Amino acid sequence: MSTPLTKRRILIMATNGFEQSELEVPRDTLREAGADVDIASIETGKIKGWDENDWGDEVEVDILVGDVRAGDYDALVLPGGQINPDLLRVEHQAVALIRDFADAGKPIAAICHAPWLLVEAGLAKGKRLTSYKSIRTDVANAGAEVVDEKVVIDGNVITSRCPDDLPAFCDAIIAALEPVEANS
């Protein structure tokens, strides 16, 4: 029996300072569900996570952001942490890639501070979103309706607030990617 996400390819985009659990939990959960998961970054080699109050583990980068084609993937996951999205939102190729996924109507899942990337890509206006509490004003100022909920789904955009929300966040990503059963 195949798992729900067999033959699905997921891209996680991150750089140094990603929130450790917000990259590892979705990566591992999606892999367990049968998906192929790649890590894209703005640099080659390894990137280092942030784990609560100090630097965390390193994660191997599979592909450079500039080499990614949205058409090769089924969804994009954006982990938070304060450092990671702040570094990525000033990288033209990272922001352009987010727009490419949006233009293709593919799921984009952003947690914690990662909705900053949605703001930078021009995707917040008119959307119902959630985020970490310290950036909610930024998200609202970008034209989003900001709510305080574990997971918010608006069209192809999935958002969550913090690591405590990871189970609901991962469930929403999987649900967005599960094949629709055809009635025969």
Q: Are 116 and 85 in contact (CB under 8 A)?
A: yes
- Is residue 92 part of the annotated active site? The answer reads no
Closest CA to 42 of 96, 82, 81: 96
Catalytic residue, chosen from 27, 113, 136, 161, is 113
3-state helix, strand, coil in the chain (%, to 5): 35, 25, 40
The answer to whether 29 and 174 have CB atoms below 8 angstroms apart is yes
Quickly count: other Cβ atoms within 10 Å of residue 94's Cβ.
25
8 Å CB contact between 55 and 122: no
User: Are 22 and 87 in contact, with CB atoms under 8 Å apart?
Assistant: no
Alpha-carbon distance of 28 to 116, in angstroms, equals: 24
| Interstrand relation of 151-154 and 157-160 (parallel, antiparallel or unpaired) | antiparallel
Enzyme catalytic residues = 113
